[in-house]
Amino acid sequence: MARWQPDAPGRLAAAALDLFEEHGYENTTVIEIAERAGLTKSTFFRYFPDKREVLFGTGTVTDLLVEGIASAPPAAGPLDAVANALDALGRTFFADDRREFSGRRQAVLNANTELREREALKRIDLTASMIEALNRRGVPNLTARVAAKLGTLVWEVAYDQWIDTNNSKGFGPLARQALAEVRAEVRAAGAVR
């Protein structure tokens, strides 16, 4: 692959995923990832602090979530604002052309404790970003925390369904379906005392 080709971070992520599948995460070096991508080690470190981060992107998901919450209609409640953010993710980041890569990525994460821990930390950061975005909309902190954590749960459910090779639905509709199910369960739990 020529060095001048665009999307160095994407090329590095694709190369890393291939190598992690072929040789395992522990047995793959940054130099091997950079070489497979047709780039240099210094280019790798321009985008990622270490090989663990190469499968977690550069903040795009956080930005999309925050923008999605901010762009929700003014009258939208906290969960509707989170749903708007998940819809934005579905339209852009979780487009169908990323499904196969995402499924492969998840399999690599599932096979490695260090990467699962990093994924958990990233989700905590994403939840915190959603809380802050909801607070900026004037949502009280406790309500924002509940809505963001439910949003993270909805994301996890929808993502697991979306990467399933037997599934043909988009991420956005799956997230909306999961959110409707969560809301129904919350209403049912509220009726039980």
Give the CATH number of the domain where residue 135 resides: 1.10.357.10
User: What's the domain range around 102?
Assistant: 59-191
In-domain check, residue 73: yes
| d(C-alpha 35, C-alpha 171), whole Å | 33
Specify whether 29 is located in the same domain as 70.
no
The total number of structural domains in the chain stands at 2
Q: Sign of the CA dihedral 173, 179, 180, 182?
A: positive
| d(C-alpha 30, C-alpha 56), whole Å | 15
- pLDDT value of position 57: 74
Banded model confidence at residue 4, pLDDT cuts 50, 70, 90: low
- pLDDT value of position 60: 80
Give the CATH number of the domain where residue 24 resides: 1.10.10.60
Please compute the mean of the pLDDT values over residues 7-29 and round it to a whole number: 95
Specify whether 147 is located in the same domain as 105.
yes
Find the largest Cα–Cα distance for the chain: 64
Specify whether 36 is located in the same domain as 90.
no
| d(C-alpha 53, C-alpha 155), whole Å | 20
The token pair that represents 57 in the structure block: 């992107």
In-domain check, residue 64: yes
Of 88, 87, 79, 70, nearest in space to 180 by CA: 79
List pLDDT tens digits, range 24-48: 999 999 999 999 999 999 999 999 9
- pLDDT value of position 6: 77
Residue that terminates a domain, selected from 22, 37, 54: 54
Specify whether 47 is located in the same domain as 66.
no
| d(C-alpha 157, C-alpha 177), whole Å | 10
- pLDDT value of position 192: 53
- pLDDT value of position 116: 94
In-domain check, residue 1: no
Q: What percent of the chain has pLDDT over 90?
A: 76
List pLDDT tens digits, range 98-129: 889 999 999 999 999 999 999 999 999 999 99
Banded model confidence at residue 185, pLDDT cuts 50, 70, 90: confident
- pLDDT value of position 105: 95
Specify whether 67 is located in the same domain as 109.
yes
Please compute the mean of the pLDDT values over residues 88-97 and round it to a whole number: 83
List pLDDT tens digits, range 121-153: 999 999 999 999 999 999 999 999 999 999 999
Q: Which of 45-54, 72-81, 85-94, 148-157 has the lowest mean pLDDT?
A: 85-94
In-domain check, residue 3: no
Does pTM top 0.75 for this prediction?
A: yes
